[in-house]
């Protein structure tokens, strides 16, 4: 449910905004001297290097057990909240689902203003994990929103009214935005998502004050017959095109930069993490093979012009839905006695990479999870030694890592105090196979993977049981210099949130156990934990005001499927999404109790034919699985055990969009009534398969 828009305030006392006469008065000088403003959190990862490390020490390993809830704000949704708030000049700025931004008094939680960009609900179907936003940006009195529908919006930090808005992509293509904008020395840089739906990736820089486009860099080549794009990427598109075959542009190609973008102010380079291919299967995307540049790569461009500087491709021949859009962290490390300016990343494919951020030279890379994709990274070439059995065939087989990621978008942190990088890692296996040539059909605005979800049903069932039994999740502390694990904190399932470290030897993370936990950063010993009723999947942050340090985090479950949650010993329930803010010694504030559990209704009898169920399984995988989970498990909304009322309304919900106000847009442009009947038959079949086990728990 959206918050009401445009709650204006006519006058805000100067004291509310702190010492600066202009709220959110962030500029390059202030960000370069971020440690001199240690009490503030002015950018997505606090600093441009996105280390997510705070110099604050008031809350530390000797007193973290005294933390209490200072204030909280309801976000009026049960959806996943992925954003890290900003705190600038005594105001905390936060963004919820549908890109609704609220400014709070950072001391008390009093709402100062709310801005709702009114994103149409149908855009949720083009975002694989719902209408979430991972953050906002600030520059010279403006707050920037990368809206799901492609608008880049600048609003006044004083009262939240819109200053300007530009449309960053053509809405005739299935793009979306979920990643946070970044501001680098007067330029707002934004990417987009949609590789699964058939688009060509690119990143654009706009003037932060006016919204005028400054440069654009395409991450993969377009149709060569149309000539140059007239953009900053033109100089390297001919080189990239040589690594593609066939008519890849007909299917989009992919390579969207949907999250990580980082800036080095000394080298004046912007680093772009690029995504997977579209379709996933290279056989249909680039039938003659090839590296397919710049899929799953780090591309460095010059900040002023957007022109190419260097690239490093982590996954040549990408066909596993691996993305290199996961968080990047910049740091200076001493490696083999030599000071190196490095870029670090732990992407989906399960390897932790250390690169020279000036040249793109591969320094080291080691796997941090079980890995059937590649045995190692060749030290001389920097290329992976791919397991020949990892390439897709029409016969299903087990694979790990998978599209569910060894590490997903959840932010990681580097502590200069310990020299360790911390991030949520996970082991999830998947049954993968390629569809037969005769069955592949590319449909715009639908997830066109080229992956089969229904062939060899008995083999699939056996393999899926093995996959489910191997699912794991943990908080990993990684030594990037020696490329080895320092320690881990085990969790019962994947799905825990991003991390924060501080000079107080703290390591903070939201957990799949529906808690916020604080550990010692040097050894992982737990210091404090609090029930949050839902999973804080977002990255926590910390700030200081009036001599008091606070820790803030958004709480709200949603994201990639976690199969184990559907067979947990007790039914797993999640509370509403909230912004929670903690400080030492806080008392008297508590979350309201969870609502009572609902009864799981018995499914109807399955009356559909096996042929109809199989057709529904295929359509569900193509159209529904990204939001509702593979095999109808572990998604944003449980579809196996719908109420009789929801089942009765199923056709209207799917075709007519009668619940578009809740993010479920209509699919009449993609699905027929027969298609929806087949999907419903598949869901009834899945419900009958699992209901007895579910109620026996």
DSSP symbols for 2-50: PPPS----S---GGGGTT-SSTT---HHHHHTGGGGTT-B-STTSSTT-
What pLDDT is stored for residue 565 in this prediction? 82
Q: What domains lie within the chain, and their CATH numbers?
A: 121-528 (2.140.10.10), 610-695 (1.10.760.10)
**Side-chain-facing half-sphere of 335: CA atoms under 13 Å:** 17
What pLDDT is stored for residue 482 in this prediction? 98
The burial of 187, by beta-carbon neighbours within 10 Å (0-12 exposed, 13-18 middle, 19 or more buried), is given as buried
Output DSSP code: residue 654. I
What pLDDT is stored for residue 17 in this prediction? 44
Sorted by sequence, the CB contacts under 8 Å of residue 445 that are 6+ apart come out as 126, 174, 197, 198, 669, 670
Sorted by sequence, the CB contacts under 8 Å of residue 168 that are 6+ apart come out as 146, 150, 151, 152, 177, 190, 192, 204
CA atoms of 591 and 599, how far apart (whole Å): 24
The β-bridge relationship of strands 430-432 and 397-399 is: antiparallel
SS3 452: coil
Annotated catalytic residue, options 321, 356, 479, 546? 321
Looking only at Cα atoms, what is the longest distance across the chain? 70
What pLDDT is stored for residue 421 in this prediction? 98
Measuring CA to CA, which residue among 141, 135, 52, 545 is closest to residue 329? 52
β-sheet bridge partners, residue 518 = 508, 528
What pLDDT is stored for residue 206 in this prediction? 98
What pLDDT is stored for residue 689 in this prediction? 61
CA distances from 175 to 443, 602, 670 (A): 14, 39, 16
What pLDDT is stored for residue 647 in this prediction? 82
* Residue for token pair 């397991």: 387
The β-bridge relationship of strands 53-54 and 499-502 is: parallel
Sorted by sequence, the CB contacts under 8 Å of residue 98 that are 6+ apart come out as 2, 116, 117, 119, 131, 148
CA distances from 74 to 408, 534, 580, 596, 671 (A): 26, 13, 9, 18, 36
Residue 247 neighbours by CB distance under 10 Å? 12
CA atoms of 581 and 548, how far apart (whole Å): 12
CA atoms of 132 and 82, how far apart (whole Å): 6
Q: What stretches in the chain show pLDDT beneath 50?
A: 1-19, 692-693, 695-697
Output DSSP code: residue 438. G
Does the active-site annotation cover 321?
Answer: yes
What pLDDT is stored for residue 664 in this prediction? 79
């Amino acid at each position: 449910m959206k918050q009401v828009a445009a709650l204006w305030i006519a006058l805000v006392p100067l004291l509310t905004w702190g010492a600066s006469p202009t709220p959110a008065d962030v500029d390059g000088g202030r960000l370069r001297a971020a440690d001199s403003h240690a009490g503030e959190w002015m950018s997505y990862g606090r600093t441009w290097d996105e280390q997510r490390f705070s110099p604050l020490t008031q809350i530390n390993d000797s007193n973290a057990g005294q933390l209490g809830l200072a204030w909280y704000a309801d976000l009026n949704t049960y959806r996943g909240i992925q954003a890290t708030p900003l705190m600038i000049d005594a105001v905390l700025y936060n963004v919820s689902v549908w890109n609704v931004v609220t400014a709070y008094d950072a001391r008390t939680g009093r709402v100062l203003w709310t801005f709702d960009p009114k994103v149409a609900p149908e855009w949720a179907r083009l975002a694989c994990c719902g209408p979430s936003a991972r953050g906002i940006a600030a520059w010279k009195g403006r707050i920037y929103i990368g809206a799901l529908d492609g608008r880049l919006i600048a609003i006044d930090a004083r009262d939240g009214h819109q200053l300007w808005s530009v449309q960053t992509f053509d809405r005739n293509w299935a793009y979306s935005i979920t990643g946070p904008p970044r501001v680098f020395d007067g330029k707002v840089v934004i990417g987009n998502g949609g590789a699964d739906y058939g688009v060509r990736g690119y990143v654009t820089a706009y003037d932060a004050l006016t919204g005028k486009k400054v440069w654009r860099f395409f991450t993969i080549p377009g149709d060569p017959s149309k000539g140059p794009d007239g953009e900053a990427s033109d100089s390297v598109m001919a080189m990239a095109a040589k690594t593609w075959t066939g008519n890849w542009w007909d299917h989009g190609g992919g390579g969207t930069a949907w999250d990580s973008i980082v800036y080095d102010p000394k080298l004046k380079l912007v680093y772009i993490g690029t995504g997977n291919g579209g379709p996933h299967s290279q056989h249909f995307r680039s039938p003659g093979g090839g590296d397919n540049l710049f899929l799953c790569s780090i591309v460095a461009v010059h900040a002023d012009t957007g022109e190419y500087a260097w690239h490093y491709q982590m996954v040549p021949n990408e066909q596993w839905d691996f993305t290199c859009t996961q968080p990047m962290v910049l740091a200076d490390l001493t490696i083999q006695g030599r000071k190196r300016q490095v870029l670090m990343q732990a992407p989906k494919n399960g390897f932790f990479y250390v690169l020279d951020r000036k040249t793109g030279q591969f320094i080291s890379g080691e796997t941090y999870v079980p890995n059937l994709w590649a045995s190692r990274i060749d030290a001389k070439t920097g290329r992976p030694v791919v397991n020949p059995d990892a390439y897709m065939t029409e016969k299903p087989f087990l694979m790990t890592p998978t599209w569910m990621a060894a590490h997903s978008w959840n932010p990681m942190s580097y502590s200069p105090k310990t020299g360790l990088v911390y991030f949520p890692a996970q082991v999830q296996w998947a049954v993968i196979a390629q569809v037969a040539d005769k069955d592949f059909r590319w449909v715009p605005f639908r997830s066109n993977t080229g992956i089969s979800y229904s062939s060899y049903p008995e083999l699939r069932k056996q393999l899926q049981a093995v996959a489910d039994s191997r699912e794991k999740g943990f908080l990993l502390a990684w030594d990037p210099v020696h490329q080895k694990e320092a320690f881990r904190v085990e969790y019962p399932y994947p799905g825990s949130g991003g991390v924060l470290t501080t000079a107080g030897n703290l390591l903070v993370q939201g957990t799949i156990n529906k808690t916020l936990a604080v550990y010692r950063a040097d050894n992982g010993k737990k210091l404090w934990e609090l029930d949050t009723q839902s999973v804080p999947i977002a990255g926590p942050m910390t700030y200081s005001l009036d001599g008091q340090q606070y820790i803030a985090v958004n709480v709200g479950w949603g994201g990639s499927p976690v199969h184990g949650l559907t067979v947990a010993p007790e039914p797993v329930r999640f509370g509403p999404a909230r912004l929670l803010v903690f400080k030492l010694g806080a008392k008297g504030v508590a979350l309201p109790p969870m609502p009572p559990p609902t009864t799981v209704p018995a499914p109807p009898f399955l009356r559909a034919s096996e042929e109809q169920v199989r057709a529904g399984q295929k359509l569900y995988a193509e159209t529904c699985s990204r939001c509702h989970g593979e095999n109808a498990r572990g998604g944003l909304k449980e579809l196996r055990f719908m109420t009789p009322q929801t089942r009765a309304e199923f056709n209207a919900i799917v075709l007519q969009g009668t619940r578009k106000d809740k993010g479920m847009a209509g699919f009449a442009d993609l699905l027929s009534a027969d298609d929806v009947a087949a999907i419903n038959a598949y869901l009834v079949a899945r419900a009958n398969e699992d209901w007895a086990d579910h109620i026996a728990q």
